[in-house]
Amino acid sequence: MAPALPRLLVTRRLPQEVETRLAKSYWTQLNADDHPMSEAELLQGAGDKDALLITPMDKSFATGIIARLPSSIKIIATFSVGYEHVDIAAARQKNITVTNTPNVLTNATADIALLLILGAARGAYWGERMVREDRWNSWSPTEPLGLDVTGRRLGILGMGRIGQAVAKRARAFDMELHYHNRRPVAAELAHGARYHADLDKMLPYCDFLSINCASTPETRGLVNGTLIDKLPKGAIIVNTSRGDIVDDDALVSALKSGRVAAAGLDVFRNEPKIDPRYRALDNVFLLPHLGSATRDTRIAMGMRAADNLDAFFAGRKPADTLT
């Protein structure tokens, strides 16, 4: 008799190619209507499973659910590079392996960072709205006007894979590059960016600040009023990492006063329930967490999660083990 397939709960709809692959190697419980699962539903679904494939929206994995998972659960594969939504220490304690999906979303996310830089600097939001609402009366030499990107200084906060890909793209716009990271990266990965061991020393160089660090206890709330005050007046802030790195009160008030000229935000604290004050501001370019949202990238993320699950159930250590 063939050995029983491992039992897998997939908490959200995944691209068809990924679900088809998973169904060949696992007894899968899929989420056909793609609704966000409540904690009770997650626990019930996990009840008869060996593995979970979750997403960053399954936030209860950071807030106590892991301790209540049945002992049959051996691995949690998150469909994301970020893993702040998983309590890694709790998983370790229960001997549960946790994996993520690095590399495959680097380019797509860096593309969105550049879209935000351009969208915020050139007023893509108000420009688009003006055309859509039929308020565009005449081309004018003096209004509305955005800000140049070419030749301006970009500070990259967090020079991991995505930060490096942002640097590579920003070079094509002749931006002067700076970065802050815990450690300097190899010269060929820095794309000419100057390293600042001390974040405070980089801030005065940031006409643009791109947030590319992970959300950790050290970075949560890092972009606050004190940090913003060290940026040049009229700087632009873009965020493709996690919303909780930004102090929304500080950013909203800096956007209102003009201390920060514009912002481009793809991620938000408590998304999708974002701070409503952003909606009322004309100088923010807002996207609904589209960083990795291309078809190819989402398939690659799913395949990477499946590779990790397959390795685990074949008795090998998954390539992207975090525990």
Contact footprint for ligand DGY (CB under 6 A): 56, 80-82, 105, 291-292
- Give the residue from 217, 161, 162, 155 showing the smallest Cα distance to 180: 155
Residue 152 appears among annotated catalytic residues:
no
CB of 216 to ligand DGY, least distance (A): 13
Q: Which is nearer to ligand DGY, 56 or 160 (CB)?
A: 56
Q: Which is nearer to ligand DGY, 212 or 292 (CB)?
A: 292
Produce one character per residue of 119-148: b if its CB has 16 or more CB atoms within 10 Å, e if not: bbbbbbbbeeeeeeeeeeeeeeeeeeebee
Instruction: Please report where in the chains the tokens 């909780």 appear, as a residue.
Output: 244
Catalytic residue among 161, 289, 298, 304: 289
CB of 105 to ligand DGY, least distance (A): 5
Q: Helix 124-132 to helix 106-121 angle, to the nearest 10 degrees?
A: 70
Q: Which is nearer to ligand DGY, 82 or 163 (CB)?
A: 82
The encoded tokens of residue 254 equal 């800096």
Catalytic residue among 242, 259, 298, 304: 242
CB of 90 to ligand DGY, least distance (A): 19
Residue 242 appears among annotated catalytic residues:
yes
- Quote the CA–CA distance of 193 and 147 in Å, as a whole number: 22
CB of 106 to ligand DGY, least distance (A): 10
- Quote the CA–CA distance of 54 and 64 in Å, as a whole number: 15
Q: Which is nearer to ligand DGY, 57 or 189 (CB)?
A: 57
Residue 188 appears among annotated catalytic residues:
no
The encoded tokens of residue 36 equal 């966000």
- Quote the CA–CA distance of 119 and 166 in Å, as a whole number: 15
Catalytic residue among 19, 39, 41, 271: 271
Give catalytic residues, as residue numbers. 242, 271, 289
